[in-house]
Amino acid sequence: MDKFRMIFQFLQSNQESFMNGICGIMALASAQMYSAFDFNCPCLPGYNAAYSAGILLVPPLVLFLLGLVMNNNVSMLAEEWKRPPGRRAKDPAVLRYMFCSMAQRALIAPVVWVAVTLLDGKCFLCAFCTAVPVSLLGNGSLVPGLPPPELARLLARVPCPEIYDGDWLLAREVAVRYLRCISQALGWSFVLLTTLLAFVVRSVRPCFTQAAFLKSKYWSHYIDIERKLFDETCTEHAKAFAKVCIQQFFEAMNHDLELGHAHGALAAGPTGSAAPAATEGADEEREKLRGITDQGTMNRLLTSWHECKPPLRLGQEELLVGNGWAGGGPRPSRKEVATYFSKV
């Protein structure tokens, strides 16, 4: 159990590196899934484009959403976006920075899928086989004699060698090479554009807005650390609360048993120093409760934390009243009165 706890703490302390590793694994998994995927073009004029568009767009969308779901900061972003302002204003720049950081990692796997799909060429071949220029690549003299539906039916079967019967009009190998060449050119162009865009976003953008970038980065890290510390404090309080409740339950049961067996307790005599030690442990657990000793008070505290978080201003003591923080400025100075007593 301790080993799992140490691993979990290590992942929490290295969350950014862990998420980068997860995104890399998802990118490799997307490429492996495509290689294992059995692409079956329907070879019908009305379905080729729809099938290819689904293969090209739906899996990247699923991978993008999966990348967002696996990121722990999604719930933090939603909580920060939907929380009431209270005594702490919400900064849209921080929210944009948090979303862009998550989106950049989540887009890695979809980009790999699209790039691999275009470089492979099967999807592009299935989608645009009916747009092959037959007059340039095939027997153009026979095109005017074919009705458009029949020509579309013949060209739609180009991705399917077992049913293609239009070699007299257009050699299948010529059409396949032509479309795959265009697809690979688009694939490498897509890779180049996404690489340049990533370079601009990661390297050039902070140079022009360095101050705003540093502010957004700092407060994004603050929100993340504040949430973790609050969860740790609540966990520590819950453990102490549970220990004190269990101790009180056992003490009450022990008291009832002693009342029922008073003669046995008198005959047993003193039992040593276990009671002072238990009392000392109970006092230590009570100190961890920080004065929150009932369910209603804890619920009000959690509601107050959600509805009215404390202002980001240290060095000024403000009292928590109801569901908000009272006092908007420095506390007034107190007058001290000294009273002297004389001995008679």
Task: Transcribe 219-278 into DSSP letters.
Answer: HHHHHHHHHHHHHHHHHHHHHHHHHHHHHHHHHHHHHHHHHHTHHHHHHH----SHHHHH
Partner residues linked to 319 by β-bridges: 326
pLDDT single digits (tens) 237-280: 899 889 888 888 888 887 777 776 664 544 444 444 444 555 55
Burial profile 129-139: b = 16 or more Cβ within 10 angstroms, e = fewer: bbebebeeebe
| Mean pLDDT value across the chain | 78
In the predicted model, is pLDDT for residue 204 greater than 60?
yes
Burial profile 57-86: b = 16 or more Cβ within 10 angstroms, e = fewer: eebbeebbebbbeebbbbebbeebeeeeeb
pLDDT single digits (tens) 109-140: 899 899 999 999 999 999 999 989 888 888 77
Q: What is the pLDDT of residue 335?
A: 43
Q: What is the pLDDT of residue 14?
A: 53
Question: Rounded CA gap, 70 and 342, in Å?
Answer: 74
Mean pLDDT of 299-319: 77
In the predicted model, is pLDDT for residue 35 greater than 50?
yes
Mean pLDDT of 3-17: 52
pLDDT single digits (tens) 139-197: 777 776 778 888 889 899 999 988 888 888 888 999 999 999 999 999 999 999 999 98
Q: What is the pLDDT of residue 54?
A: 93
Nearest to 105 by CA among 194, 182, 36, 16: 16
Q: What is the pLDDT of residue 31?
A: 73
> Three-state DSSP class for 157?
coil
Partner residues linked to 325 by β-bridges: 320
Amino acid at 6: M
Question: Rounded CA gap, 193 and 199, in Å?
Answer: 10
pTM metric for this prediction: 0.70
Q: What is the pLDDT of residue 170?
A: 87
